[in-house]
Amino acid sequence: MTSVADAVVPGQRLGHVQEFNAGVGTYSHQNFLYASVVGVKQITTISSDELPVLSVQRENTQSAMPDIDAIVTCKVVRVNPRFAAVNIMVVDGKPCTDDFQGIIRVQDVRATEKDKVKIYNSFRPGDIVRAQVISLGDARSYYLSTAANELGVIFGTSVAGGSLVPISWQEMQCTKTKAIEPRKCAKPM
Amino acid sequence: MSISFHSPAVRTTNDGVVRRRAVGHDMDLDDGLEGAAESAMKDPTLHVVTPGELITSDTAFMRGHGTYIEQEKVLSSVAGVVDRVNKLISVRPLHTRYTGEIGDVVVGRITEVAQKRWKVDLNARLDGILMLSSVNLPGGVQRRKQESDELQMRTFFMEGDLVVAEVQNFFADGAYSIHTRSLKYGKLRNGSFISVSPGLVQRSKSHFHSLSCGVDVILGLNGYIWVSAHVSQDLEEIDTEQVYSNKNKEDITPADRESIARIANCIRALAQNFVFINATIISFAYEASLQYPLKDMHKKEVMRDIAVEATTAVDNMRG
Amino acid sequence: MASEPTNLAISPAFTFSASTFQKLHPLEYFRKFASQGVRPDGRLLSSFRPTTVHYGVITTADGSAMVRMGGTTVVCGVKAEVAEPRLHAPDQGYLVPNVELSPICSSAFRPGAPSEQAQVVSEQIHRVLQESKVLDLKELCIEEGKAVWSLWVDVVCVSYDGNICDAALTSVMAALSNVRIRKPTYEEGVVKVAGVDLLDDENSFRLNLARTPLSVSFALLDTDLILLADPNSAEESISQGQIVITLDETGQLCAVSKVGAASSSQQLLKQCIERARERSQELRRIMNQEQ
Amino acid sequence: MPGLISPAERDYILKGIECNIRADGRQRADYREVTLETGVISQTSGSARVRIAGGTDVLVSVKAEIGPVQVDPETGDGADKGQIVCSVECAPSASQQFEGRGADDLNNELTQMMTRFLSNSTSNPSVSSTASAGAGGINLSKLCIIPGQQCWILFVDALVLDYGGNLVDAVFMGARAAIYDTRIPKTEVQDLGDGQFEFEVLDDAEDTEFVEGRENMPICVTLNKIGARHIVDASPLEELCTEARLVVAVNRSGELCGQQKGHDGGIEPSLLLEMIQFGKTTGQTLIKQLDARLQEEADADLAKRQRGEPVHKLGFFAQ
Amino acid sequence: MDRKRVAGPELSVAPLVEYPRDHKRWTPQDEQRHDTKRQPEDMRPIYLKTGLINQANGSAYIELEKTKLACGVYGPRPGKRTGFSGHGVLNCEIKFATFSCAKRRGHMRDPQEKELSQILSQALTPAVRLDLVPKSTIDIFITVLESDGWGSCVAAAITAASVALAHAGIEMLDLVAGCSAAYIPSGPSIASPTPSATDATNATGPSLAPRIFMDADLEEEKYEQGAIVLAYMPSLNEVTHMLQSGKAEGSIVSQSVEHCVEACNKIYAVMHHALVESVGENK
């Protein structure tokens, strides 16, 4: 890997499209590559028969926002038989400045036996859930899915106020009262 | 650069001719309205009423659309023209939104993408609904709707897209359910959009016309009209993938554009002079318009002349 | 599919980066630091953030000051305008403080009417100025019953990182001490002054401030009664209450207020007042240095 | 909600403009037909109604009222000047986009633009610039009755009744026509000595004055950059395709009296200069033709008055 | 009445200003500019710094001598607008602090500030890649602390906002630099502070071409017969906004456009420096 470290700002011309491929933080316009963010210019050579990739390592990361396929951490705010409404707080490990709204529709809770899913037996308000964005959704909410082993509730509080620990992929136990509550749990990674 | 300033004018007698023609056509078409035709003939100055105006105090009459009864008198509830069929009195409003029937061909614009459905502006009181299950999905007529389709509705139709469709049903609230489950329906391309009063588009056997000047016209019964460059109508050959394409065809020539603009302006001229619009009269209007340069066609006088000439030509044809 | 329960029951098996953890469990995050005796920003529980005061930063104002307390930056500008006096006080002018918490300074504030917090801070400052008799309003009289000065004291928060009370009041007092009013002439209902560019000691006067009250704020974390001096915005959002002690230069109390649900013992309050005495002296030193 | 347009329509319009055949058959530099009448509202000091074929309909009224002069405390300027207060409002019925609060931003934008271009104060509210007098053309000093006390205030109110594209040009044409039509009563000032004055407004209909400097008022030409080209008098669909808009205010003698870029796109400096030049020449032609039309109407009215005939305005009964 | 603020007198006015008879004010005929340091083509030195608002995603502070303003960028964050949009929205709000001008301003945003907000968002939108932030809003808030010249204040707001956007890590096509200029008559007839309106300008206007004063301050603006504010993307060579007011010959306007474009290239260097400097700081 060869690299030339150099600080650049948006709009700065970095090279010709015949010399480089556009990487992250850059864009091409009329045969030239320009920086689109503030950061440090990097040139990565992948193989000899391909053009080196020109990218800009961001200095300040943009405030996190959900994108399709991103893994998000969110808090359940409301449930009804059709979906659970959540506030998306963290996207791909980066906290959002302001929470985005999302919903987990009943058909997206788990991958199998979708007809048997009851939202109330999967999520309760206050639960912290790990989910994946499947669509930009409608005007208001992103659509999320928990249909994978590692997705689901990662932290919850029981009716009695104790914290819950998962005992199976669909049950959690209160640390105070040992009462068992149903949830769609995430398998720890 | 060109611009022209004019003073406003009162309606001339010419307008009168055109307007009566329009009414006359209406009568020709619908035998059931003979009574009204008669009354219109008897009284050539139409009976125009405003909301709250007394139509008759004769208790023998029955109340129809656009009227109400107070103290046993029939009053108008809209501004419009009085229609009488035997004992039934109704008022045809001057301005109206589209009220349709099942089977109508309509042109609409997508206004919202919702869950499993699109909302479509149809020039009616309520937005129409196009269900995801009422469209042909790419991949063949037989392809079934999948869950993934619900998440990518915008790849088929997005906000702003124009569609031609057929009224399929009514919802309880009066909104129209429309469908595009035929290859002649779907997304509109290669042309421009005109809106006229829905009452002016005549119901006929076909609403898809290929005019001799190489221009296709879709006359939506809701008053939305699409004028476009001609594309071959061989439905068998249409690739279903292309149904949802946003790309216009590459070979629209300047001559095509001029013809499209000319036809569009003819339709505007007819609509502005309250002449019913159908394929025949559009063709005559096109003939009549050829004596004017294209850029003069937005002038009021030219528009009127075209409308008058076209109506006269239709009359002559019918003898 | 089910995991081994024993493994999971012991501790939450999900780990997060520090910033994610802070976002999801702000209180837990803070307690992890507090148990070590420090705060997430590296301060001790009882220490204040570095503070600076600059005078006369706005030339279009008749008096101004900028105060920075850690990440909080406020600018206070005073404008003197002519108004009719109140009927019941024909020889008294107006002193009108307002604090603007506009959306520029934090995502917690939205455009539109002043937030509740802005109203509370404005009112607090208003009361301190009024009840501590900071300024004799008769000084602002131009012509009795006809015209008086109205001093519009506006605080704009440019950057919000907690403890707006202390920053705002400090800036107000600093700006008031910076005010120079051009001596007016009154003739037939018209008040005239000299041009700003001709301002000198001859044709202008300064305000005679009777005292300089300054406030010192602490945040309370309920159960274990952790007392945080000069809380930043993250600490404010998890605190259950705040104690604000306002003192003048002689160390006399001007106001004591406690907001929020947390209870505090008499002893705690005493402790606060002691700390506040020291801090307000320090603040005064900073203010005098710059002037 | 902003207006909607489909990608295919956008492409069709863009390519049409490229080959100089717009969707309605016009060329890039062509205006639509403008219908104009002055003196349509009898309660005002002056009024005009401007309609552009295709929908846009603007009513402008000028009302002269007496009020106190506005003096800048810092400089003492304005003591000997009258004022012009502008306001533009779009009726919610003019377009679906204007419903509710939909027109708020547009109203404010147009009001500010009109204030900037017509009344003589500069863009800066805190400075009443002494030297910039004359951009709006009207001689404000002539509107002063008693220096330091009373003056005429001209309230110029434009009401957009219908929207069919190109509002800015229509509003400014209307403003020019309405000011042209305005007559202000004469006043007689009496010096009571000791700096005291008294004045009387002469109430004779013959004793009225025109607004001095009305012929120097600017008019606006809006250029819409679509693709690499620019057009005048855009239709609503063309406005939706506009990347950047340049409003050029120009007066009779070709001086630029204000310019403002609009929309969310950029313009290359060389193209910008070309557009300014184009706007300038177009504006001058526009003013010439508009003035000719206004003069024609004024002459016709005068001729009728001299013959003792009543002057009838068609107003809202016009076609 | 505003019940959410501490109430003052209902009506208050600025006192009238009186100058002694022998007081000499600056006029455009004076050899030097108002602040005596510059030539007409010179701009004031620009102080530009990023990252002063720690709660914002990006921020910038700009100072052109007396003109001072702060800009904070928040977002992309959830939009409040109804309706789905594949593109993000750039929302701009500018507020002059009550004490920022010679005349005291109100707490509420007035129509002027609303229009200015719209102008700023039009000037900045061409530079921001809004297609990459669907459904979201990027909020730009600007507070003017002190304004010494309206045009220069608008130009500074554009410059600062564009730097704050870049500082927030938002993907952009280019930076936008803002620049202002005033057309000031050089004829002697304007020497009197209150010329009799059109007579004076008509007599001298066409014959004597006005001079272009770059980055005019308040005192100079008092004599302007016209002014221009221009926003420009230096790399892409595109003008993103232009606002010209007052009366001017076409040639003066063209000339001022060229001058402003040139000046924007210089301002770009300052912006570049401020942003690159921030790269160093975080290391």
The pLDDT assigned to E3 comes to 85
Contact by Cβ (8 Å): A56, A44? no
User: From residue C137, how far is each of C96, C151, C153 by CA, in Å?
Assistant: 11, 10, 14
Reported residue count of chain B is 319
C touches which chains (3+ CB pairs under 8 A)?
A, E
CA pair distance E105, E12, nearest whole angstrom = 12
* C45-53: average pLDDT: 95
Strands B186-187 and B191-195: unpaired
In angstroms, the separation between the Cα of residue B80 and the nearest Cα of chain D is: 16
In the numeric block, which tokens belong to residue B125? 């009181």
Domains in chain D, ordered, with CATH?
18-306 (3.30.230.70)
Type of residue found at C188: E
Option in D135, D261, D277 nearest E250 (CB): D277
Write out the CATH class of domain A71-182.
mainly beta
Q: In what order do the strands lie in the sheet with E47-50?
A: E47-50, E58-64, E67-78, E136-146, E89-96
The answer to whether the CB atoms of E17 and C102 lie below 8 A apart is no
Contact by Cβ (8 Å): E87, E116? no
**Residue E251 with chain D: CB contacts under 8 Å:** none
In angstroms, the separation between the Cα of residue B289 and the nearest Cα of chain E is: 42
Task: Let me know if chains A and D touch, i.e. at least 3 Cβ pairs under 8 angstroms.
Answer: no
Dump pLDDT digits (tens) for C191-233: 889 887 778 888 899 999 999 999 999 999 866 678 899 999 9
Neighbours of A51 (CB within 10 A): 15
Q: Does C6 touch chain A (CB under 8 A)?
A: no
Position C4 in a domain: no
The answer to whether the CB atoms of C150 and E16 lie below 8 A apart is no
- Residue showing tokens 């005429």: D152
**Residues near C159 by Cβ (< 8 Å), separated by ≥ 6?**
C71, C72, C73, C105, C106, E52, E53, E54, E55, E56, E59, E70, E72
**Total domains present in chain C:** 1
In angstroms, the separation between the Cα of residue E253 and the nearest Cα of chain C is: 31
Return the C-alpha torsion angle B126, B132, B134, B135, nearest 10. Answer: 110
Backbone phi, then psi, for D287, in 5-degree steps?
-60, -45
Domains in chain E, ordered, with CATH?
47-282 (3.30.230.70)
In angstroms, the separation between the Cα of residue B1 and the nearest Cα of chain E is: 20
Q: Which of D15, D22, D24, D233 to probe the B interface (max B CBs under 10 A)?
A: D24
SS3 string, A78-99, reads EECCCEEEEEEEEECCEEEEEE
Dmax (CA) for chain E in angstroms is 65
Chain E residues with CB-CB distance to B under 8 A? 83-84, 86
Position B180 in a domain: no
Neighbours of E258 (CB within 10 A): 14
Type of residue found at A126: G
CA pair distance D214, D225, nearest whole angstrom = 31
In angstroms, the separation between the Cα of residue C223 and the nearest Cα of chain E is: 29
Option in D108, D141, D261 nearest E241 (CB): D261
What letter would DSSP give residue B297?
Answer: T
Contact by Cβ (8 Å): C235, C219? yes
Q: Element (H or E) spanning C23, and its range?
A: helix C18-24
Type of residue found at B183: L
Q: Does C46 touch chain E (CB under 8 A)?
A: no
Secondary structure (3-state) at B153: helix
Option in E78, E134, E166 nearest A9 (CB): E166
Residues of chain A with pLDDT under 50: 1-4
Residues of chain B with pLDDT under 50: 13-43
E4 Cα distance to chain centroid: 30
CA pair distance A179, B138, nearest whole angstrom = 51
Asked if residue B198 has a cis previous peptide bond (ω within 30° of 0), the answer is no
The answer to whether the CB atoms of C5 and A187 lie below 8 A apart is no
The answer to whether the CB atoms of E238 and D75 lie below 8 A apart is no
Q: Return residues 146-165 of B near A (CB < 8 Å).
A: 147, 151-152
**Total domains present in chain B:** 1
What is the CATH code of the structural domain delimited by A7-58?
A: 2.40.50.100
In angstroms, the separation between the Cα of residue A132 and the nearest Cα of chain E is: 17
Q: Which of B157, B159, B161 to probe the E interface (max E CBs under 10 A)?
A: B159
Reported residue count of chain A is 189
**Residue C19 with chain A: CB contacts under 8 Å:** 94-95
Option in B8, B248, B262 nearest D8 (CB): B248
Residuewise pLDDT in 10s, chain E (283 residues): 678 999 999 999 999 888 887 777 788 777 777 777 788 899 999 999 999 999 999 999 999 999 999 999 998 999 876 677 888 999 999 999 999 998 899 999 899 999 999 999 999 999 999 999 998 999 999 999 999 999 999 999 999 999 999 999 999 999 999 999 999 987 654 434 444 434 444 444 444 678 999 999 998 888 888 999 999 999 999 999 999 998 889 999 999 999 999 999 999 999 999 999 888 665 4
Domain housing B20: 13-93
Q: Element (H or E) spanning D213, and its range?
A: none
Burial class (CB in 10 A: 0-12, 13-18, 19+), D62: buried
Portions of chain A given CATH number 2.40.50.140: 71-182
Contact by Cβ (8 Å): B88, B64? yes
Closest B-chain CA to A136: B151
Position C165 in a domain: yes
Contact by Cβ (8 Å): A150, A144? no
Type of residue found at C202: E
HSE toward the beta carbon, residue E151, CA cutoff 13 A: 32
Option in B113, B114, B151 nearest A134 (CB): B151
Q: Does C108 touch chain A (CB under 8 A)?
A: no
In terms of DSSP H, where are the helices of chain B? 13-29, 34-42, 147-151, 254-272, 279-289, 300-318
Average pLDDT, chain C: 89
Rg of chain D over Cα atoms, rounded to whole angstroms, equals 21
| Confidence tier at C5 by pLDDT (50, 70, 90) | very low
CA angle C203, C208, C214 (to 5 degrees): 135
Chain B residues with CB-CB distance to E under 8 A? 112-113, 154, 158-159
Query: Does residue C82 have a pLDDT over 60?
Result: yes
The answer to whether the CB atoms of B191 and D282 lie below 8 A apart is no
Q: CATH code at C75? A: 3.30.230.70
Q: CATH code at B49? A: 2.40.50.100
Strands (E), C27-137: 51-55, 63-69, 72-83, 94-100
B touches which chains (3+ CB pairs under 8 A)?
A, D, E
The pLDDT assigned to C223 comes to 61
Give this complex's ipTM: 0.90
CA pair distance E225, E205, nearest whole angstrom = 9
CA pair distance E135, C118, nearest whole angstrom = 30
Domain housing C152: 41-290
Nearest to E197 by CA among D121, D211, D130: D130
The answer to whether the CB atoms of C9 and A95 lie below 8 A apart is no
Contact by Cβ (8 Å): D39, D314? no
Q: Does A111 touch chain C (CB under 8 A)?
A: no
Contact by Cβ (8 Å): D3, D165? no
In angstroms, the separation between the Cα of residue C8 and the nearest Cα of chain E is: 35
Type of residue found at C65: A
CA pair distance D253, D230, nearest whole angstrom = 24
Type of residue found at D229: R
Nearest to D130 by CA among D191, D199, D205, D80: D80
Strands (E), chain A: 7-8, 13-16, 21-22, 26-29, 32-35, 39-44, 53-58, 71-79, 83-91, 94-105, 128-135, 142-145, 152-155, 164-168, 171-174, 180-182
- Residue showing tokens 């630091």: C33
Closest E-chain CA to D111: E111
Residuewise pLDDT in 10s, chain D (319 residues): 568 999 999 999 999 999 999 999 999 999 999 999 999 998 999 999 999 988 899 999 999 999 999 888 877 788 888 999 999 999 999 998 898 888 999 999 999 999 999 875 544 443 444 434 457 888 888 899 998 889 999 999 999 999 999 999 999 999 999 999 999 999 988 888 887 888 888 877 778 889 988 999 999 999 999 999 999 999 999 999 999 999 999 999 999 999 999 999 999 999 999 999 999 999 999 999 999 999 999 999 889 988 988 888 887 766 6
A43 Cα distance to chain centroid: 28
Q: What's the first-to-final CA gap in chain C, in angstroms?
A: 71
